[in-house]
Amino acid sequence: MRTVYRISLLVVAGLLWTLTAGFAQSRGGRGLVSFGRSSGLASDTLYLDVNQDIAVQLLPFDELVKMAVAYSPVIKYQNEVSSVLKASQGVARTQILQNVSGFGNYSGGNQVLIASGRSPDLNTNPIGQIANGYRAGVELRVSLFDVFGRKHLIRQADANYKASLVQKDIAELELKQQLISIYQDMITAQQILKTRLIDEQASLAALRVAEAELQKGKITTGQLASATTAYVQAKATTEQVKGDFLKSVHLFEALMGTPIQRLKRY
């Protein structure tokens, strides 16, 4: 019995070593892991190392926040809103100029009136015939609204612009809070995934041993079924955790407004 027990331990150790080596070979040349196929997304590949912490692979969090502010669609929208209200502020300040108008003309008159003092043509207006030349002037009309209501309109435009700046600060704060939450979820999901992968490999090794023992007649089919059930449960849990990890990464990408590959340190 001791000999059989020792041989079984050697078989388990050999299978664990084989699975670990196979898992390492399935990674890319730089230790990168693809989760696309296992998650049902054939074209989806995440260039992240499961065995290395996310905080080490990605840029420092403060730099990520700055990039999110620069690339986030929400922040870009708030910037455009502030620009529109800034322009409205300028319009409110200069709108009074629409009441100012200028004119210019040229008059060709008869100089006889100036020389003789009377108009040769009785049908001609003598005032319009005093002299010829260019005329220009400015006309200003001020309404009661311009006197009493203009200042309130300007204050309203100023307040709207300042409110848009505050709204932008609020959007940046909310974005930072969301980044903190999803960033931590991503780190937690990665750590859980690492442990679940180890459990899955151990369950698979136990299943392979059980299959070999069944062929030798050392165990029953019920014991093999128990080993199979344990492996299936471990595999299902791994896939669920893997999906949570993928979801966190893609939510993080959406908030950042840029792919995860551009957020890595190298």
pTM of the predicted protein model: 0.60
DSSP states along the chain: -HHHHHHHHHHHHHHHHHHHHHHHHHS-TTS-B--TTTTT-TT----B-TTS-HHHHBPPHHHHHHHHHHH-HHHHHHHHHHHHHHHHHHHHHHGGGGGEEEEEEEE---THHHHHSS-S-TTS-SGGGS--EEEEEEEE---HHHHHTHHHHHHHHHHHHHHHHHHHHHHHHHHHHHHHHHHHHHHHHHHHHHHHHHHHHHHHHHHHHHHHHHHTTSS-HHHHHHHHHHHHHHHHHHHHHHHHHHHHHHHHHHHHTS-GGGGB--
- Residue 94 pLDDT: 74
Top pLDDT among 110 and 102 is at: 102
- Report the mean per-residue pLDDT for the chain: 75
- Residue 188 pLDDT: 93
CA distances from 46 to 30, 39, 262 (A): 13, 11, 12
- Residue 257 pLDDT: 84
pLDDT digits (tens, 9 = 90+) for 183-192: 999 999 999 9
Top pLDDT among 132 and 193 is at: 193
Top pLDDT among 98 and 221 is at: 221
User: For 72-81, what is the mean pLDDT?
Assistant: 88
Q: Which of 35-39, 96-100, 118-122, 255-259 has the highest mean pLDDT?
A: 255-259
- Residue 207 pLDDT: 95
pLDDT digits (tens, 9 = 90+) for 161-172: 999 999 999 999
pLDDT at 100 over 90: no
